[in-house]
A and B are shown apart, each in its own frame.
Chain A
Amino acid sequence: MRIAISYPPIVNDRGQKAMVSQNRNVQYFIKPTYLLPVTYAQAATWLKDDGHDVLWDDGNAQEKTYEEWFADLISWRPDMVVFESTTPVMKFYWRVIDELKAALPSTIVVMSGYHSSRQPSETMEMSSTDVVLRSNHVDFVLPRLARDVKLLADWRDECAIEGLSIRSTSGIRNTGHFIQVEPLDRSPIVDRDLVDWERYAYENGNFLQTPGTYATSVIRDCTFGKCTFCRYNGPDLTFSQMSIERSLDEYERLINEYGVKEIFDDSGVWFRGQDARAFAHGIIERGLHKKGCYFGFNTRFEYLDEETIKLLAEANFRFVLLGFEAADDETLQRLNKGYQMEHVDQCLEWLTKYGLHPHLTIMVGYHWQTQEQLDQTVAEVKRLMFSGMARTLQVTICTPLDYTPYHQECIREGVLLADDYDDHDMSKVIVKTPIPHEAYYQAIREMYGISYHPKFILRQIRFLASGRKRDWQFLFTYGWRALRRVRQHVFNLTSASQEDHAPISKTSELESVKR
């Protein structure tokens, strides 16, 4: 079969391009970061290994216009096209699918992603989609589906793979619960050549050195899985883990065969404890820590002890992304973050002591967030950044991601202001709050402004005394890139805040997303 895994270019009416961002939601940027969708890359690899002709069709990363992307896809004449979508671009995708089906009526269109997986009937109703995957294990499901399509004469009525909605001759057929636990070691390591990895290797704020790349994630979904705002929380999500040796093999290949200089594992939460130490030992035993490549991962406060952090530093780990979310315990508790503010400093001190670069991800605009709580967050972030305990940060507006507990809570408490999917693009606050929305935008600007502050710059200069190459790189290589990104974030929120006072659209206008 000829199978395309496709990401159409999406540009909004401000000329910004859609990029997949935090929690695999979509955010718009003028100069986007192209993130490799790792699970889909594994799916593409698996399909190729099964003998299919696979087209890795990321129109965003390939910097095509919509028209170029569409024409190229049509001319390739796929038997099956797989899309991944999410809330703010659902309407766009429905329209694309109808256009695609009009041009290629016999092509099977498969829709996946967190939004449609939770509400498959909507996508079936709103578009001519043939199959909706209710599983986030697309790498496991797609090869099975392709096999059935190939082998079963009437696959729409006969396919018995769990977790699908299929447009059959007699209507929409649901095949029940999908398998929640899949052994991650059976999914292939990403074929870097197939997915044209270098397109994702340079424009990424997580990389201090390039080319960088995302590793095949060692953990599917999240080890913790209880944060109320997060996609990785729900009855259909679970946790599975790849073996340490297999991941080490991939790191070795990426460094030795592809010349990768920074590897980031974007697992919801990376290894901890024994597994983290075993991984670091493996890096050292293979000599990969001396190859000039940095490593990074996501973790949580109160997860890594000093001994483990020291070992990770010896193994040349650098970038550590931590969900900080807010600086008041009430918010942390309401979000089920599972850590306390009083232990934040200790974790950051250990990371900084051994030369790692902690990156904080902060959110604002929770429906309960008071001015006092917001000020506390801003003040705490400033303290951590000025003191050198954190090196970089990103701030986003907490947008209720559909079907998460936080989203359900917003509906239950009547605070959700938006019923148009387009408004879920993280560009503005879409919940009722105790203070004006502008206060949150101002807080974001203030936090991003930290990187321009003399105190912050002075602290980075003081880091140079450590003699670590990474600190010099941070100031002189990464600095200008970071500043450019900060300007983008500030621009986005400035534009959003100007629009925020207008009533939120109650109708769904497809034209609000330009192709």
Chain B
Amino acid sequence: MVSTRVGTERGSALVVNHSTLEVLGHRALTDNTYVLRTTRPDSPIEAGQCFSVGTRSLAINREYSMYSAEDDPFVDFLIRRVDGGAVSTALADLREGDPVEVGGPYGSFCLNGDDLLTRRFVFIATGTGIAPFASFVKTFPQLDYILIHGIRYDSEKYDQEVYEGDRYQPCVSRPSIGAGERVTDMLESMDLDPAALYYLCGNRNMITDTVHILRERGIPGGNVYMETFF
């Protein structure tokens, strides 16, 4: 994924370190999505940042956003196993104690310290793009936010208990009961606060369509931050 707009004033490490971390465990969330937990690298981490993750034998890596809080003594990654995807499959096969190669953290898809207590946030995600938002919420429990999560099935409401009250608003396109809804449908029907900060993370079609809606509805470009999957 790639991040756009510098969203932090808390500073990020200039030097990206590579570490061999140890797998602490796996937690299956659906048939093809899991949380990989590893030991924590020495580098300082900011919620919203990502890492290059791979295994020694693969010699390739992929970027994943951190799913855990920035001060947790471990790092969680929310990973969807891709058909034919070498990295997501290999990481799924790792067992407790196995080494995992991690580069990072890097990226600037982070929250600005000045905004934490003064601004309202609208987080918009598709699928595992919810990871950085989970990290924000776990790191900063005082945040004033809503989280709109586009998913295909009801089973993909990953760890929804993390989000208090009705802050978590899933948009299920293929629900078990009733009509499906997409993120863009929900946005079209919502009152959008032009003073809020909008953070987008997920597939590129959602990002493109959402940015278009936000602009049409008068949200200033400077209030929109995004991280696109590729």
* Partner-B contacts on A (CB < 8 A): 162, 176-183, 219, 221-226, 228, 235-241, 272-274, 277, 302-305, 307, 329-330, 333-334, 336, 338-340, 343, 346-347, 409
Contact = CB atoms under 8 A, between A and B. Distances in A.
Contacts of A340: 18, 101, 103
Contacts of A241: 204, 230
A403 to B, nearest CB: 12
Contacts of A236: 4
A239 B5 contact: no
A240 B16 CA distance: 25
Interface in B59-117: 59-63, 82-86, 101, 103-104, 106-107
Interface in B157-197: none
A88 to B, nearest CB: 26
B6 interface: yes
Nearest to B52: A338
B228 A239 contact: yes
B2 A222 contact: yes
If over half of B's interface residues share one DSSP class (helix, strand or loop), that class is named, otherwise mixed; here it is: mixed
B15 A333 contact: yes
A225 to B, nearest CB: 4
B211 A329 contact: no
Contact of B221 (A180, A222, A346): A180
B28 to A, nearest CB: 22
Given A240-B204, A343-B59, A223 B2 contact: yes
A303 B85 CA distance: 12
B221 A333 contact: no
Contacts of B207: 181
A333 B17 contact: yes
A277 B82 CA distance: 13
Nearest to B221: A177
Contact of B4 (A235, A333, A339): A235
Contact of B220 (A177, A338, A346): A177
Contacts of A181: 4, 207-208, 211, 226, 228
21 contacts: A176-B221, A176-B222, A177-B222, A180-B226, A183-B208, A225-B2, A235-B5, A239-B2, A239-B4, A273-B62, A274-B82, A274-B85, A277-B84, A302-B54, A305-B86, A307-B86, A333-B15, A338-B16, A338-B52, A340-B103, A346-B59
Nearest to B83: A274
Contacts of A307: 84, 86
Given A224-B2, A240-B204, A339-B61, A273 B15 contact: no
A338 B54 CA distance: 11
A303 B101 contact: no
Contacts of B86: 273, 305, 307
Nearest to A224: B2
